[in-house]
C-alpha cells in the first residue's frame, strides 16, 4: 500500500481499489428517490422529467469535473472543502467546512431514521431507536476496521441497486416486445411520447420537478472523498467522474423511460413506487418486500457514506481550527484511519435515535434536515467559485484533469444552482426549509465573518 500526506494531517492509507471506487460512484449517483419518488416526479412533469434529469445531470457533472480537477491537482486532500478555504479565504472556508459537515450529519440522521422505517416493514414491533442503534454500531464498525472494508460494503450495496434497475429495464423491454397488456393499457414505447407536452401540468410543476430531482443527486460529490484513500488516484478519479453522464443516462433516464413505457405517464400514481408496480405486473408477488429491501440497502449505503465522508471532513476540519476541543480528532489509528472523527460523527448521527422517542422534537428535526439539505446548493456554488479562483492561481495544473469549456459551463452551473435555490421559495412545501437555510447563511455567515481572514498554520 502506498501512502499520501495531507497538508495538515497524517498519512492516509490507500485501501480502496478501482472496482470499489467505480461502484461507489455508481451507488452515489443512484439514490432512494428513484425507487420511491419516481412516480411523484413523473406526476409533476410527465415525459419532460427526462429533460429535468438530463439538465441537472449535466450541471452536476460540471460540478464533479471541477471537484475532480481540484483533487487531481492535489489528491492528498481528505475533502474538497479544503479548496474553498485555500482559494476563497478562511472566513468563507469556515462557513463551508462547518456547514458541510453539519449538513452531512443531518443527512446521516435522516438516513438512519429511514433505515429503521424500512426494517420495521418486516419487524413492526421493534422500536425505531433500537434498530437505529444496532445499524449505527454495525456501520461504524465497518468504518473503523479498514477503508477496504468500507469499499467492499459499498460495492455490494451499489450492486443491489444496479441489479434492481437492470431487472426493471429488462422486464420492461420484454413486456414491450411481447405486447404485454396492463390493467391501464398496452405496454409500448409510444406511451412515452403519446400526448407529449413540455408542461403537461403547468410551468410551475415543471419547475418544482427540478427541486425534487436536484435532491436525488445530493451526495454524488462523496466520490471525491475517496481520492485520498484510493490506489493511484490520478488514474482512478478521472474514470469514476467521466462515467457519471453515462450512468445518469442509463440508470435514471433508462429506468424512467421504461416505467413510462409500461404505464402511460398520465396514469402513473404519484403516491406509489413504480418499481413495485412493475415487478407486481411481472408476477413477483413479493415485489413490495423486494423494493423495500433495495431502498433499505440504498439508505444503509448512504448512511455508510455519510460516516466515511463526514469523518474525513471532521478530521480535516480539526486541523483548520485552534480549538482545543478539536485536537484529539487529529489522530490517526494504527491502521491509519481517523478513528476519533469516525466515532464522534457516529455519536452525532446517533442523536436521531433519541429524537425518535421524543415526538415533540420530530417536526423540528424534519425542518432542520430539510433546511440543511438546501445548504448543499450553497456548497456547490462555493466549490465552483473556488475552482474559478484555482484556475487563476499559481497552483493551476494546465496538463491536469481539466473541466470542459470552463469559462462557459462553470458560470452557467453557478447560475443554475442559484436558480434552483430561488425556486424553493415559490413552492409551499420547500419554502419554510429554504427560509431556514437562508437564516443559517445569514447567522452563521456573520459568525464566519468574525474569523481571521487567513488560516494560520
The domain that holds 227 is classified in CATH as 1.20.1740.10
Tracing cell 484556475 back to the chain, one arrives at 391
* Residue 243, pLDDT score: 81
Decide: 374 and 107 in contact? Cβ < 8 Å. Answer: no
Whether residue 150 is contained in a domain is answered as yes
Say which DSSP state 250 is in.
I
Whether residue 457 is contained in a domain is answered as no
Q: Could you give the 3-state DSSP secondary structure of residue 398?
A: coil
Write down the pTM of the prediction: 0.87
* Residue 9, pLDDT score: 55
* Helix axes of 287-318 and 274-281: crossing angle, nearest 10 degrees: 150
* Residue 149, pLDDT score: 81
Whether residue 455 is contained in a domain is answered as no
**Domain housing 396:** 3-449
CA distance 68 to 388: 13
Tracing cell 481572514 back to the chain, one arrives at 453
CA distance 185 to 261: 10
Helices and strands per DSSP (H, E), number in the chain: 19, 4
Sign of the C-alpha dihedral computed for residues 311, 317, 321 and 327 taken in this order:
positive
Whether residue 68 is contained in a domain is answered as yes
Whether residue 122 is contained in a domain is answered as yes
Whether residue 454 is contained in a domain is answered as no
Whether residue 72 is contained in a domain is answered as yes
Please give the tally of structural domains in the chain.
Answer: 1
* Residue 319, pLDDT score: 84
* Long-range pairs of 190-195 with CB within 8 A, sequence gap ≥ 24: 191/260, 191/261, 191/262, 191/263, 191/264, 191/265, 192/47, 192/257, 192/260, 192/261, 192/265, 193/47, 194/264, 195/266
* Residue 6, pLDDT score: 42
Whether residue 84 is contained in a domain is answered as yes
Query: Which stretches of the chain drop beneath a pLDDT of 50?
Result: 1-7, 11
Amino acid at each position: 500500500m502506498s501512502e499520501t500526506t495531507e497538508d495538515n494531517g497524517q498519512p492516509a492509507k490507500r485501501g480502496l481499489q478501482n472496482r470499489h471506487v467505480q461502484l461507489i460512484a455508481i451507488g452515489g449517483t443512484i439514490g432512494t428517490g428513484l425507487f420511491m419518488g419516481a412516480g411523484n416526479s413523473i406526476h409533476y412533469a410527465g415525459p419532460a422529467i427526462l429533460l429535468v434529469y438530463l439538465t441537472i445531470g449535466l450541471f452536476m457533472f460540471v460540478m464533479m469535473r471541477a471537484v475532480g480537477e481540484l483533487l487531481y491537482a492535489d489528491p492528498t486532500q481528505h475533502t474538497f472543502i479544503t479548496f474553498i478555504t485555500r482559494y476563497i479565504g478562511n472566513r468563507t472556508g469556515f462557513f463551508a467546512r462547518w456547514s458541510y459537515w453539519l449538513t452531512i450529519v443531518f443527512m446521516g440522521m435522516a438516513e438512519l431514521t429511514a433505515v429503521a422505517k424500512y426494517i420495521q416493514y418486516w419487524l413492526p414491533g421493534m422500536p425505531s431507536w433500537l434498530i437505529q442503534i444496532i445499524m449505527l454500531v454495525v456501520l461504524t464498525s465497518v468504518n473503523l476496521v479498514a477503508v477496504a472494508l468500507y469499499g467492499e460494503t459499498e460495492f455490494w450495496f451499489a450492486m443491489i441497486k444496479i441489479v434492481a434497475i437492470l431487472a426493471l429495464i429488462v422486464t420492461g423491454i420484454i413486456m414491450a416486445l411481447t405486447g404485454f397488456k396492463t390493467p391501464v393499457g398496452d405496454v409500448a414505447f409510444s406511451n412515452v411520447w403519446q400526448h407529449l407536452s413540455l408542461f403537461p401540468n403547468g410551468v410551475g410543476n415543471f419547475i418544482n420537478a427540478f427541486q425534487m430531482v436536484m435532491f436525488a443527486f445530493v451526495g454524488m460529490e462523496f466520490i471525491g472523498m475517496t481520492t485520498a484513500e484510493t490506489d493511484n488516484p490520478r488514474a482512478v478519479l478521472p474514470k469514476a467522474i467521466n462515467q457519471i453522464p453515462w450512468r445518469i443516462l442509463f440508470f435514471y433516464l433508462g429506468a424512467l423511460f421504461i416505467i413510462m413505457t409500461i404505464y402511460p405517464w398520465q396514469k402513473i400514481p404519484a403516491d406509489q413506487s413504480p418499481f413495485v408496480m412493475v415487478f407486481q405486473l411481472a408476477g413477483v408477488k413479493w415485489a413490495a418486500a423486494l423494493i423495500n429491501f433495495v431502498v433499505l440497502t440504498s439508505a444503509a449505503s448512504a448512511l455508510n457514506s455519510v460516516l466515511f465522508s463526514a469523518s474525513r471532513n471532521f478530521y480535516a476540519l480539526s486541523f483548520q481550527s485552534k480549538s482545543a476541543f478539536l485536537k484529539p480528532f487529529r489522530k490517526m489509528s494504527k491502521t491509519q484511519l481517523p478513528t476519533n472523527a469516525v466515532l464522534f460523527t457516529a455519536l452525532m448521527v446517533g442523536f436521531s435515535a433519541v429524537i425518535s422517542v421524543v415526538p415533540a422534537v420530530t417536526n423540528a428535526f424534519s425542518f432542520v434536515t430539510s433546511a440543511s439539505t438546501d445548504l448543499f446548493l450553497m456548497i456547490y456554488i462555493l466549490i465552483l467559485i473556488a475552482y474559478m479562483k484555482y484556475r487563476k492561481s499559481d497552483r493551476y495544473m494546465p496538463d491536469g484533469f481539466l473541466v470542459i469549456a470552463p469559462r462557459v459551463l462553470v458560470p452557467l452551473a453557478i447560475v443554475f444552482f442559484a436558480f434552483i435555490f430561488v425556486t424553493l421559495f415559490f413552492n409551499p412545501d420547500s419554502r419554510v426549509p429554504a427560509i431556514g437555510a437562508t437564516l443559517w447563511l445569514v447567522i452563521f455567515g456573520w459568525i464566519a465573518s468574525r474569523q481571521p481572514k487567513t488560516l494560520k498554520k
